[in-house]
Amino acid sequence: MRKLISSSETVFPYVASIFHGRGLDSHAYKHSLDADHRVYINLGTEKIYCLPENYEINDPSLDDIRHVLNPRFSLDQVLQLDDRNMLDGSDYRRGIMGLNNLKGTDLVNVVIQSLMRVTPLRNFFLIHENYKDCKSLLVQSFGELTRKIWRNARKFKGQVSPREFMQVVTDASNNRFCIGVQSDPADFMSWFLKTLHTELISCSKAKTTSSIIHECFQGEMAVVKDTHDRDGVKANNMVNAETSRMPFLMLGLDLPPLLLSKDAIPQVSLFNILQKIDGMRYRVTRLPKYLILHLRRFTKNDFFVEKNTTLVNFPVKNLHLKDHMMLPTPKEEERLCSKYDLVANVVHDGKPDDGTYKAFVRRKSEESWYLMQDLHVAETQPQMVALSETYLQIYEQQ
């Protein structure tokens, strides 16, 4: 895959492979004479040269450019990312970085912004040594995007273009998710997490079926189904049931039917929606560290897509699942962690066919909330988080 040298949305017609080498017959050497462009960086070694004189430039001021090209983090730096101030004492807020909308990629942007609030996932991909030997372009491009979002951008633009990441996603998804085609962020979230897990497993040297994806998001649910005899009649007129256990990365929740009323805005409590997991047909047998909820707002038929505009009331802190759904009984001397705090909330604005997505994300160090809509980034009040038509949520276990 070739890297494009780009700035914001302007992509210059220079491709790294064109300027291969720096000898007398190289394109870089000829270009330095024709265009009077003198300074070049080797994208592999990150050494910087002056052409046509062909000498290496050793200047500490160029380290900032290297850091933008390929941000690096030590374990100590990663562990201090959630401190209120930066390592040098300044008050720059890392991780609060806008993403370019490449035409219809707002759905990808909100998913990426939400996943950046999952601390173990973020930390894993910030340290390149965790996956440097992985041949998966999806793993490498997501890691690079993660490092660029969390880099120190004080001296550079406070935005990142996900173009290279989207090119990899387009290829990996067989054009299911691509620039210029509006899709569903819940579909993308599901596909991305499953594919990323598979790629990480295939790259792992250890024989394991787990990954950072499952460590963060995988829970388990028991599904109870009635059993029937061969004639389709319940055996002996008795209710027999069989239980199957199913792992999940995301819980899909149905909204109540939309009631047409001119007098009031339809509203429902998240607790009422969770009551479907009542222990009769569905029962959560293992809670994940990070719980992803998908509020199913859209229904499709042969002609069009309908949107349920019901507002969902939910807590930003202290979502206590034990009070609203059947949960497993903890073993002796084991504590059941069923309290969650919201870290990301994706909402949909507008009509089903031409609406937009935006994300509210929490900055943990100062308990503040930010509205992230492509390049638009603004601090907001916690009370504003629950006033829109929520579609995807990520809750963090306390």
Indicate the helix (H) or strand (E) that contains 77. Answer: helix 75-79
What band does 237 get if pLDDT is binned at 50, 70 and 90? low
> Tell me, what's the pLDDT at 364?
86
What residue spans define the domains of the chain? Answer: 1-70, 71-397
b/e burial code for range 326-335 (CB count within 10 A of at least 16 → b): bbeeeeeeee
CATH topology of domain 1-70: Herpes Virus-1 (3.30.40)
Report the C-alpha gap between 117 and 370 in whole angstroms.
12
- Tell me, what DSSP letter sits at residue 331? P
* 74/93: higher pLDDT: 74
196: burial class by Cβ within 10 Å (0-12, 13-18, 19+)? buried
* 3/134: higher pLDDT: 134
What band does 201 get if pLDDT is binned at 50, 70 and 90? very high
pLDDT over 70 at 279, yes or no: no
> Is-contact 396 319, C-beta < 8 A?
no
Per the structure block, which two tokens stand in for 232? 């389709």
Comparing 46-55, 273-282, 340-349, the range with the smallest average pLDDT is 273-282
CA neighbor of 122 nearest in space, from 177, 77, 158, 163 = 77
Peptide bond into 52 cis (omega under 30): yes
Dmax over Cα atoms in the chain, in whole Å?
92
> Tell me, what's the pLDDT at 33?
87
Q: Is the pTM higher than 0.85? A: no
Please state the rounded mean pLDDT for residues 189-204.
95
pLDDT over 90 at 60, yes or no: no
> Tell me, what's the pLDDT at 7?
38
Rg for the chain (alpha carbons), in Å?
A: 25
Per the structure block, which two tokens stand in for 3? 């890297």
pLDDT over 50 at 258, yes or no: yes
CATH topology of domain 71-397: Cathepsin B; Chain A (3.90.70)
> Tell me, what's the pLDDT at 333?
61
Count CA atoms closer than 13 A to 99's CA, side-chain side.
32
Comparing 32-46, 185-199, 281-295, 351-365, the range with the smallest average pLDDT is 32-46
pLDDT tens per residue, range 353-393 = 889 999 999 998 888 999 999 999 999 999 999 988 999 99
Q: Residue type at 190?
A: S
Report the C-alpha gap between 346 and 380 in whole angstroms.
14
Q: End-to-end CA distance of the chain, in Å?
A: 41
> Tell me, what's the pLDDT at 89?
52
304 φ, ψ (degrees, to nearest 5): -160, 175
> Is-contact 362 119, C-beta < 8 A?
no
> Tell me, what's the pLDDT at 363?
92
> Is-contact 95 81, C-beta < 8 A?
yes
> Tell me, what's the pLDDT at 281?
80
> Tell me, what's the pLDDT at 5?
40
- Tell me, what DSSP letter sits at residue 392? E
Q: How many residues does the chain have?
A: 398
pLDDT tens per residue, range 282-328 = 888 899 999 999 999 999 887 888 999 999 999 999 999 987 787 77
Please state the rounded mean pLDDT for residues 250-277.
85
* 31/251: higher pLDDT: 251
> Is-contact 67 151, C-beta < 8 A?
yes
DSSP bridge partners of 296? 254
Instruction: Indicate the average pLDDT of the chain.
Output: 85
> Tell me, what's the pLDDT at 369?
96
b/e burial code for range 41-56 (CB count within 10 A of at least 16 → b): beeeeeebbebeeeee
> Is-contact 2 167, C-beta < 8 A?
no
* 167/325: higher pLDDT: 167
Please state the rounded mean pLDDT for residues 143-172.
87
Q: Quick one: three-class SS letters along 302-328?
A: CCCEEECCCEEECCCCCEEHHHCCCCC
* 232/111: higher pLDDT: 111
Q: List Cβ neighbours of 396 (8 Å cut-off, separation of 6 or more).
A: 117, 118, 119, 289, 290, 340, 341, 342, 343
Q: Residue type at 266?
A: P
